[in-house]
Amino acid sequence: MAKLRFGAFLAPHHLPGESPTLQLQRDLELVDLLDKVGFDEFWCGEHHSTGWETIASPEMFLAGAAMRTGRIRLGTGVVSLPYHHPFHVAQRITQLDHMSQGRAILGTGPGALASDAHTMGIDPVLLRDRQDEALGVIKRLLAGEPRFSYECEWFTLRDAKLQILPLQEVVPMATASMVSPSGMTLAGKYGDGVLSIGSMSDEGLASLPLQWSFAEESAVKHNQVVDRANWRVMFNWHIAETREKAFEEVEHGLLRWHNDYTVGTLQRVGVDPFKDTAAAIEALAYAEGSAAVIGTPDDLIARIKEMTKVTGGFGVAIGFVNDWASPANTAKSWDMVARYVIPEVNGQLDSMRESNQFVIENREYFVRAQQAIMNKINENERAAEAFKQVSNAQSPIAPHSAPAPVAAD
């Protein structure tokens, strides 16, 4: 079975009241950490309002991240296509691909915040159709097609062709998917991957078993192929050594994130504030059908395995970067995912456990090795005498096959 890949998604959702300069620097330090500990992908988004989401240009941020990292793939999560001329999007992802030495992934979406579309004077009803139209043009540009022209109500191309093509032969792409079928359908139309952002909500989690079928049906309709290996499912998590410690650590920002952002800023219909962090933890992480994990590495391992069964399989587990805990505890949580969760989920520890158990259960081999050492000691009179003198004070740090102590005369 193919190993599950792991990544991180930074919207970002940063607590207001801090220096945006330092927040951006801390975000870059997180990418550096994720690269060092072995995560496969990092994604960051494009937002222009709310006061919580401070990255306006994912390509610019990821170019900075590319200079600090060497192996992690860097994805736009996402570029809101209706906000941009498609030629500019193709140009920027091409430049990012070269600056990152072929590590760029183009994630696209229609735009998540109605306040952003309002600022740009775009009717939200038009967003998804414009994403579809732009994506088709961008693919032609990145493929290096001969010069072509294109004209529609919101952009025009004249004899368009990129002067520099991406470093990768094909830049991987992914489409954001929430709860409706539109994201999955679009991914199927173009044979792209999927970013299931809706899986972080209860309703999105419940819809996951059905979601992939929309992509497959659309792919068949448009003579494309979609691969579950390119399906990225989003998780919201914070882990620590114990559940109690994890609960204590999210006192830093979980309640503010839900009450001030989800309820107070976005004013999502049907979502109520929590009276305290304990109530938020219970509802978000431990109620039936809850979408978040706040607990231990074992809790996260169990949730990922459960989601694999529920969905029928996906290729990348993406953790959502949040400010539920302090920066130090957030970094520690990501480090623990790399140390404990990733190797367990991917079976990297199985052979080590088997080796350990073999040594425990097959002592006859090692008793024989000890006897061989004793035989050599006893062949030498002085060595035998010296061994008798020290055997009752044997060091607790002994050689692997040290002979057993002998009783004093």
Q: Which domains does the chain have, with CATH numbers?
A: 5-352 (3.20.20.30), 362-409 (no CATH)
Q: Is the whole model's pTM more than 0.75, yes or no?
A: yes
Short-list 331, 314, 160, CA closest to 239: 331
DSSP 15-61: PTTS-HHHHHHHHHHHHHHHHHHT--EEEE-----TTT---S-HHHH
**Cα separation values, 137 from 81, 161, 177, 306, 377, Å:** 11, 11, 20, 38, 80
Pair 202, 291: CB distance under 8 Å? yes
- Residue 132, amino acid: D
Question: In which residue are the tokens 């090795």 written?
Answer: 369
- Which pLDDT score, from 0 to 100, does residue 372 have? 80
Q: What is the pLDDT of residue 397?
A: 47
Q: How far apart are CA 408 and CA 258, in angstroms?
A: 70
Question: Do the bridges between strand 156-160 and strand 148-151 make them parallel or antiparallel, or are there none, so unpaired?
Answer: antiparallel
pLDDT (tens place) for every residue of the chain, 409 residues total: 589 999 999 999 999 999 999 999 999 999 999 999 999 999 999 999 999 999 999 999 999 999 999 999 999 999 999 999 999 999 999 999 999 999 999 999 999 899 999 999 999 999 999 999 999 999 999 999 999 999 999 999 999 999 999 999 999 999 999 888 999 999 999 999 999 998 777 777 778 889 999 999 999 999 999 999 999 999 999 999 999 999 999 999 999 999 999 999 999 999 999 999 999 999 999 998 888 999 999 999 999 999 999 999 999 999 999 999 999 999 999 999 999 999 999 999 999 999 999 989 988 877 777 788 888 888 888 878 877 776 655 554 455 556 666 555 5
**Phi-psi region for residue 269, left (φ > 0), alpha (ψ -120 to 50) or beta?**
beta
* pLDDT for the residue 408: 52
Task: Give Cα 104 to chain centroid, integer Å.
Answer: 15
Q: How far apart are CA 281 and CA 312, in angstroms?
A: 28
Element containing residue 10 per DSSP (H, E): strand 5-13
C-beta of residue 82 within 8 angstroms of C-beta of residue 148: no
Contact 296, 243 (CB under 8 A): yes
